[in-house]
Structure 1
Amino acid sequence: MNISRAFLVTGSLYLIVGILLGMYMGGSGNHTLAPVHAHINLLGFTLMTIFGLAYVMVPQLAGSSLAKAHFWLHQAGALILLALLFLMMSGSVAEATVGPVMPVAELAILLGAVTFAINLYRNAA
């Protein structure tokens, strides 16, 4: 698995979703999903692109098992959090229903970031 490529490709997909959501909001005049749009662009496109570029710039990071753990923790956490945020902000599901699950997704993202930091500490020159 090429970690840098995986982050960059996935990030580009989030970019497309973020742009489409922004286009929908602009066209409809309904900006209820603005927090979802911001999170898609930040957690999806921006962070994944930065992570992908970091793995390109510091190749010794990419070969570790920490890199794979980081990738999968961030992917699972971001996807679940963004889906739940979309459902909540669109009014499809009550906050009381998704609220208890969101911290689990946030924890996965945090653990991914901690894993990335440990990888940097251990393997970056």
Structure 2
Amino acid sequence: MGIWLIRIGAIYFGIGVLLGYYMSVTHNPALAGVHAHVNLLGWAALMIAGILYYLFPALTSNGWAKAHVWLHNIGLPLMMIFLALNLTTGNPAFGPWIATGATLTVLGILAFVINILANLKPKR
């Protein structure tokens, strides 16, 4: 699970950098919100979670880890795709999809937090 998240985080890093480069070249910052979320919730959060899951494999053997991985990795792309569509078209009809993706992502991150607090124990 850890290696999988590290790889997904690396993909988000590439997407975030390319999106930032695109905005720089076109002088159009319209997708800055997508760029920021892809880098923070995709690259940084998933990379850190992947490293923690890799270093502490006991964190991966419970339902909280599974919930985190699935909710985060379904919610984030959903939120980013519809946020990009909303920002580029100005169509508010994408709002409920953004909210759905955001809710799934937040629930996934909360599952991660609960998992860390409940299952990451100091060595004795």
Q: TM-score under structure 2 normalisation? A: 0.90
- Choose from 97, 100, 105 the match for 2:101: 105
Aligned equivalents of 2:98 and 2:5: distance in 1?
22
Counterpart Cα distance in 1 of 2:23 and 2:113: 35
Pairing 1:52–2:36 present: no
In structure 1, what is the Cα distance between the partners aligned to 2:97 and 2:104? 11
Q: Report what 2:112 is aligned to.
A: 116
Alpha-carbon offset, residue 64 of structure 1: 1.8
Q: Aligned partner of 1:80: which letter?
A: L
The one-letter amino acid of 2:79's match is L
Identity rate of aligned residues, in percent?
A: 35
- The runs of 5 or more residues in structure 2 that have no matched partner are none
RMSD over equivalenced CA pairs, Å: 1.3
Query: For 2:30, what is the secondary structure of its paired residue?
Result: coil
Compare relative contact order (CA 8 Å, sep 6+) and give the higher one, 1 or 2.
Answer: 1
Give the drift of 1:57: 2.5
Name the structure 2 match of 1:40.
38
CA-CA distance at 1:4 after TM superposition: 0.6
Matched length: 121
Kindly provide the amino acid, as one letter, of the partner of residue 112 in structure 1: G
Residue 101 of structure 1 aligns to a residue in which SS? helix
Read off the aligned partner of 1:105 and give its amino acid letter.
G
Give the letter for the 1:65 counterpart.
G
The Cα shift of 1:17 comes to 0.8
Deviations 1:73-119 (A, max 9, x none): 0001101000011111111x602x11122222111111111211221
